[in-house]
């Protein structure tokens, strides 16, 4: 789960270093997904995750979609 947060955070901080990202669980803390709107994302999160709520992943994916990300 914490690796998922790190994946999102590093991608947002250094988008030029990533051809794509595949976070497993996680979300973003106080960061905008705007820098990665052109970076392909394949996000994973189990609905029964009892450590990180699935809404954390859903919120970032929804925010990316609102920015026009595919």
pLDDT (tens, 9 = 90+) of the chain, 70 residues, equals 689 999 999 999 999 999 999 999 998 888 899 999 999 999 999 999 999 999 999 999 999 999 999 7
- CB within 8 Å of 30: residues ≥ 6 apart: none
pTM of the predicted model, to two decimals? Answer: 0.88
Helix H or strand E segment including 60:
helix 54-66
pLDDT for 54 equals 94
User: 45 vs 5, 14, 50, CA distance in Å?
Assistant: 12, 23, 11
Domain span holding position 59? 2-66
pLDDT for 2 equals 81
CA angle 55, 61, 62 (to 5 degrees): 85
Domain count, the chain: 1
Beta bridge partners of 21: 41
């Amino acid at each position: 789960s914490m690796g998922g947060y790190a994946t999102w955070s590093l991608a947002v901080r250094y988008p030029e270093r990533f051809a794509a990202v595949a976070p497993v669980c996680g979300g973003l803390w106080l960061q905008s997904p705007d820098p990665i709107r052109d970076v392909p994302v394949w996000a994973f999160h189990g609905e029964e995750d009892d450590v990180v709520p699935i809404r954390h992943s859903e919120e970032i994916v929804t925010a990316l979609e609102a920015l026009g990300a595919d």
